Amino acid sequence: MAEVRADEDELAALIEQGGFWRLVPEWVPREFAVPTRELAERVALGLRRSLDDRQ
């Protein structure tokens, strides 16, 4: 269990230093909208529409 905790701490430190972003493509957004209920509802609606379009 201590080994898992050490891995979590190491990953957290890497992310805090910005190292995580070197692992993803440049087109991935670095800033995100604040998660609100309205945003969650818009996302859910978009996902439902996407599924409906496939049928």
Cα(50)–Cα(33) distance, integer angstroms: 21
Identity (one letter) of the amino acid at 18? G
pLDDT value at residue 9? 86
DSSP 5-53: HHHHHHHHHHHHTTGGGGGS-TTS-S--PPP-HHHHHHHHHHHHHHHHH
pLDDT one digit per residue (tens) for the chain, 55 residues: 566 677 788 878 877 877 766 777 888 777 877 889 998 899 999 999 998 887 6
Cα(48)–Cα(42) distance, integer angstroms: 10
